[in-house]
Amino acid sequence: MRKVTKEQIQTSLKLMGIEKGDVIFMHSALSAPGIVEGGADGVIDAFLDVIGDEGTLAVSTLAFGAPFDADTTPSAVGLISETLRKRKGAIRSLRPVHAIAALGKRAKELTEGHEHCSSNCGEGSPYRKLIDMNGKIILFGVDMNRNTTLHAIEDWMDASFLEDYTIMMPTYMPDYQGKTMVLKKYPPGHRDFLRFTPVLRKEGALIEGRVGLAKVLCIDVKKMYELGIREMKRDPFFFLCENPACKFCAKKRKAVQ
């Protein structure tokens, strides 16, 4: 099997409209395209070359379990995410579970203040800032179910299925040892974000491309929010699945009937 080159990745990104100065939020699976020349670093370098010095590349660095330490807690969502997190110059937001890491001109602006937000994905969070930055979401070899930013739409709409969630206090808090904190409007349980894909496609908010064996999706963040809010106004449970055997989704739907 031929390796996927950095140049092939760059060409695909440009064909999808990625350009200098863009703010990109990426979810990814390194194995999806096949063997990539340079591995995770090769993918990151390809993105950085396309968006240039004026651009910003960010990734989710979801982390669960032990007290969150922004410097040492690894990302739980893949090698590309973890590799960017550890890159020189990368900045990680201070927020348990839904922290992000960013590299580039607007990395500080995107990540700062996350620890002061009332919820992980709400007002003032990186997920909300992407709107004003005219951000683009790239799903690199993963589908819409990996689009964490959709939880920010649920937060915006104050979805009834969001919950308070108690966790160990993160290490950036004073005297954190042995203490807990409550995350407000936390998004637990199952989702069916896949049903949003045809909506985005129909409304021109989604561009589809390919890198090697992988499908790559480019989503306009501002349009995504507008369409997600529209769908949740029509159906407050739009992002939950309709499978009666799904205990979480069925329970949450039934709770408000």
Q: Which residues of 203-225 are buried (b: 16+ CB within 10 A; e: fewer)?
A: eebbbebebbebebbbbbbbebb
31 falls in which pLDDT band (50, 70, 90)?
Answer: very high
- List pLDDT tens digits, range 231-249: 999 999 999 999 999 999 9
- List pLDDT tens digits, range 43-75: 999 999 999 999 999 999 999 888 999 999 999
- List pLDDT tens digits, range 3-30: 999 999 999 999 999 999 999 999 999 9
**pLDDT of 1 strictly over 70:** no
Q: How far is CA 256 from the centre of its chain?
A: 29
257 falls in which pLDDT band (50, 70, 90)?
Answer: low
Residues in a beta bridge with 216: 140, 209
- List pLDDT tens digits, range 81-100: 999 999 999 999 999 999 99
How many residues appear in the chain?
Answer: 257
User: Residue ranges of the domains in the chain?
Assistant: 6-255
DSSP SS3 for 208: strand
Handedness of CA 62, 67, 68, 72 (dihedral sign): negative
Confidence (pLDDT) at 221: 98
Q: Which pTM was predicted?
A: 0.94
- List pLDDT tens digits, range 142-191: 999 999 999 999 999 999 999 999 988 899 888 788 888 899 999 999 99
